[in-house]
C-alpha cells in the first residue's frame, strides 16, 4: 500500500482515552487513493470516535493521525474532504437546495459549477424531485440522503462516511454504492463505516474494530479465507466470538 506521504489517511499507534476508559487502543490504519476502506464493528467499538479523532473533532491521547498529509484540524484542506456524520447537521428551515447551495459555497465551489453539482448529487441520492421542499418536512431517510449529497459536493479527494446508508432502501443503497465505486475508480479515497455486512463485501479492504482495537485489516476475500468462512458477516461473528473467548 501507499506510504505515509501518499496516504490520504494515515493513523499510527493512535490512542484515545475518556478519563480512565480507553476507547481507541493502538490504532494503525491507512487509506490510499483509489481505495474504499470499510470500517466495521459493533456499536460502541469506537468507529465514530476514530473518525472524530481523525478529523480533529476529538484530541488523540497519543499517536498520530494525518489526513491528506496534514495534522487535523486544518481548515485549508476542508474543501478537499467530504464528511458525513452519523447525526445529520442540516438547516431544517431551509430547503434541500438551499442547504446544498450553502455548503457548496462553504466548500469554495466556483459559482459557475454550483447548479450543476447540486443537480448531480441530488440525482445520485434520488432527491431531485424534493430539492425545493423544506428539510423540516423530510423523513429521516431523506435527511440521510441529503447529508450524503452534501458530502459528495466539490469532488472531494477523500470521503469519510459514517453509516451513510442507514434508513435507505436497498435499491437506492445499490445506486449509492455504484457512485462510490465510480469515485474510487477516479482515484478518490473513501472510508465508510457500516452495519450492513454485504456492503463491506464491496470495499477494497475491511478493518474490523473490536473493543477499540483493529483485530483484522485486509481485503474481504482474504479475511474470509483466513477465518475459513464465506461472508464478511461470518468473519465478524467468528472474530467477535474468538475475542470474547480470549477475554
Distance from C-alpha of 89 to C-alpha of 87, rounded to nearest angstrom: 6
Provide DSSP, 59-116: --SEEEEEETTEESP-GGGGGGEEEE-SS----TTSBHHHHHHHHHHHTT--HHHHHH
On whether residue 121 sits in a domain, the answer given is: yes
On whether residue 3 sits in a domain, the answer given is: no
On whether residue 38 sits in a domain, the answer given is: yes
From residue 61, alpha-carbon distances to 18, 28, 155, 163, 213 in Å are: 9, 14, 32, 25, 15
Distance from C-alpha of 38 to C-alpha of 191, rounded to nearest angstrom: 6
User: What is the predicted pLDDT for the residue at 202?
Assistant: 95
Beta bridge partners of 62: 15
| CA 16 from centre of chain | 19
Q: Residue 84's closest CA among 178, 7, 194? A: 194
Q: How many domains does the structure of the chain reveal?
A: 1
On whether residue 4 sits in a domain, the answer given is: no
User: What is the predicted pLDDT for the residue at 247?
Assistant: 59
User: What is the predicted pLDDT for the residue at 100?
Assistant: 98
On whether residue 1 sits in a domain, the answer given is: no
User: What is the predicted pLDDT for the residue at 4?
Assistant: 57
Q: Could you tell me the residue range of the domain that residue 176 belongs to?
A: 9-246
The CATH number that applies at residue 100 is 3.40.50.300
For the chain of 247 residues, list the mean pLDDT of each consecutive stretch of 10: 72 94 95 97 89 92 94 84 92 98 94 97 96 96 95 95 89 91 96 90 96 94 96 91 76
Amino acid at each position: 500500500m501507499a506510504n505515509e506521504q501518499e496516504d490520504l489517511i494515515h493513523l499510527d499507534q493512535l490512542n484515545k482515552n475518556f478519563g480512565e476508559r480507553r476507547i481507541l487502543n493502538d490504532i494503525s490504519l491507512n487509506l490510499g487513493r483509489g481505495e474504499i476502506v470499510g470500517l466495521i464493528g459493533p456499536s460502541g467499538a469506537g468507529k465514530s470516535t476514530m473518525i472524530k479523532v481523525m478529523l480533529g473533532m476529538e484530541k488523540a491521547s497519543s499517536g498520530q493521525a494525518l489526513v491528506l498529509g496534514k495534522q487535523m484540524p486544518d481548515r485549508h484542506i476542508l474543501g478537499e474532504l467530504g464528511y458525513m456524520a452519523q447525526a445529520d447537521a442540516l438547516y431544517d428551515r431551509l430547503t434541500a437546495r438551499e442547504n446544498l447551495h450553502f455548503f457548496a459555497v462553504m466548500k469554495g465551489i466556483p459559482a459557475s459549477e454550483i447548479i450543476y453539482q447540486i443537480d448531480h448529487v441530488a440525482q445520485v441520492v434520488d432527491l431531485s424531485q424534493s430539492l425545493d421542499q423544506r428539510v423540516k418536512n423530510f423523513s429521516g431517510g431523506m435527511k440521510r440522503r441529503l447529508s450524503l449529497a452534501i458530502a459528495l459536493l466539490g469532488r472531494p479527494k477523500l470521503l469519510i462516511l459514517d453509516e451513510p446508508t442507514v434508513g435507505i432502501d436497498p435499491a437506492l443503497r445499490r445506486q449509492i454504492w455504484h457512485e462510490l465505486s465510480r469515485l474510487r475508480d477516479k482515484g478518490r479515497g473513501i472510508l465508510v463505516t457500516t452495519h450492513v455486512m454485504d456492503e463491506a463485501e464491496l470495499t477494497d479492504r475491511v478493518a474490523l474494530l473490536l473493543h477499540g482495537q483493529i483485530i483484522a485489516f485486509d481485503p474481504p476475500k482474504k479475511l474470509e479465507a483466513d477465518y475459513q468462512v464465506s461472508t464478511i458477516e461470518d468473519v465478524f461473528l467468528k472474530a467477535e466470538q474468538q475475542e470474547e473467548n480470549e477475554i
